[in-house]
Amino acid sequence: MTRNTEPRLAAHHWYRRPAMAQALVLNATYEPLSVVSARRAVVLLINRKAEIVHAGEELWSSERLRFPVPTVVRLRRYVKVPYHRRVPLNRRAVFARDRHRCQYCAGTAENLDHVLPRSRGGDHAWENIVAACRSCNARKGNRTPPEAGMPLAAAPRAPRRHGRMLIGLGAQPHPTWGAYLELTG
């Protein structure tokens, strides 16, 4: 047996255990990234790709290693979240984020408004698009909010997808996950 096979063997032993707990994986910045089996989280720890943030009371052990079963782990290196993990940008999604309210006057939204106008280099991105009513959209025209004297209700942000991701995986959120999910919710 080579030294390299040991983590795999350890993971295999874990896999055959009946209770399959799950662990929340945080980015190096403490942003939630995904939910994995506790077995997978243990492999991340063994490979020194992650460190334990919270652990349950149970102990996981192989012949040589012993870990508390992780419920939250944090990656040692920052992982850039791929673009497709973000919520797709479209009219309906922006209206939903802004609750169908004009972000300038709180009236009923009818249009999308580029905060920094596209003609002036503004991006077509979540952080630069808000829902707006027709009259605010027209009044603002080719100006920025400060130039137009029209402050935004809130700085626009890209919605996060982790809520749906957790449901999609059928995860039962562990009590220790709460604080991390709220951070970016």
Chain contacts with Zn ion (rule: CB under 5 A):
102, 104-105, 107, 133, 136
Q: How far is the CB of 146 from Zn ion (least distance, A)?
A: 17
Q: How far is the CB of 150 from Zn ion (least distance, A)?
A: 8
Query: Pairing relation of β-strands 50-61 and 32-37?
Result: unpaired
The two counts, helices (H) then strands (E), for the chain are 7, 6
Q: Which is nearer to Zn ion, 52 or 136 (CB)?
A: 136
Q: Which is nearer to Zn ion, 47 or 108 (CB)?
A: 108
Q: Which is nearer to Zn ion, 94 or 136 (CB)?
A: 136
Q: Which is nearer to Zn ion, 138 or 167 (CB)?
A: 138
Q: How far is the CB of 141 from Zn ion (least distance, A)?
A: 13
Query: Pairing relation of β-strands 111-114 and 129-132?
Result: antiparallel
Q: Among 123, 29, 124, 38, which Cα is nearest to 80's?
A: 29
Instruction: Match 């993990």 to its residue by tokens.
Output: 85
Do residues 81 and 105 touch, judged by C-beta distance below 8 A?
no
Q: How far is the CB of 89 from Zn ion (least distance, A)?
A: 21
